[in-house]
Amino acid sequence: MISIFHKVSSECSRTTTEGYSTSFSSAIKLLHKSMRPHIHHIYGFVRFADEIVDSFHDYDKAGLLADFKSQTYVAIEKGISLNPILHSFQLTVNHYKIDRHLIDAFFRSMESDLQQQQYDVAGYEAYIYGSAEVVGLMCLYVFCEGDEVLYRKLQPFARSLGAAFQKVNFLRDVKDDFTGLHRMYFPGCDFANFSESQKREIEADIQHDFEMAYKGILMLPVKSKFGVYVAYKYYLSLFNKIKRTHHARILDERIRIPNYGKLFIVAKAGLRSQFNLL
């Protein structure tokens, strides 16, 4: 029965999410159960595309990404795919009528990772939009459950949250991106001359994104608010730890939040939610 195939495909996306990100998978568990599979479907899709450009060094990345892109659009058009990740993704895209332009922008950013190693301001902003902001907007379709007025209202805040997450990732991974992939996303920066003043300038920009995003979280429906808030707190805690870290140490190691720290974040967020302090 097709329902079994839907279920198996959805499980593949859930397994992908849990395998690649304990933080996101933990936050997704705090969403309403009706929303969890759809967020897994979106994460599984973007994770696979990201893996192609970041990890498959011994293979034809451009060919694999082009094939993945083509299969994505065919899956959405036909409403089925034998690739379980793409099948589950198309279920969510077609169910919520997610704007195809968001998917187009996502693939443009993934394609730029195959060729581009440094970015000017315009290129950086375009990359952030396609690689992260559109993912926030895809998830927002799920959170708004067809309420177009609410979706339009929350769009700028969802974009800010996606941007904040991505920029924190860039700052956390600056060493790996430069030495392993020869990329520097931040305009005007290079690994050899990365300074404390540059780090603080980047942090000020990220802080603004977090502040904007929090305003939107407060307006989310109850079914999604707590899970999104916990994801926000995970990344805000990581960001605050990075801010306290000297720029030279950022270049030498990957800053992390330990598991006990993540548990504390969930517990504290739960108390704030219980007393309506979000």
Within 10 Å of residue 270's Cβ, how many Cβ atoms? 13
From 19-28, 37-46, 73-82, 185-194, the region with the lowest mean pLDDT: 185-194
pLDDT in tens, 166-175: 999 988 887 7
Over residues 211-249, the pLDDT tens digits come to: 999 999 999 999 999 999 999 999 999 999 888 887 777
Q: Give the pLDDT confidence of 124-158 residue by residue, as tens digits.
A: 999 999 999 999 999 999 999 999 999 999 999 99
Spatial separation of the C-alpha atoms in residues 186 and 8, rounded to whole Å: 40
Instruction: Give dist(CA 147, CA 57) in Å, integer.
Output: 42
pLDDT in tens, 257-273: 665 455 555 555 554 55
Please give the domain boundaries of the chain with CATH numbers for all domains: 2-274 (1.10.600.10)
Name all contacts of 94-99 with Cβ < 8 Å and 24+ positions apart: 95/38, 96/38, 96/141, 96/142, 96/146, 97/141, 98/138, 98/141, 99/137
**Dihedral of the alpha carbons of 267, 269, 270, 276, in degrees to the nearest 10:** 150
The answer to whether 49 and 110 have CB atoms below 8 angstroms apart is: yes
pTM of the model as a whole: 0.91
Q: Is the pLDDT of residue 51 over 90?
A: yes
Q: What is the pLDDT of residue 117?
A: 76
Tell me the C-alpha distance between 116 and 55, whole Å. Answer: 16
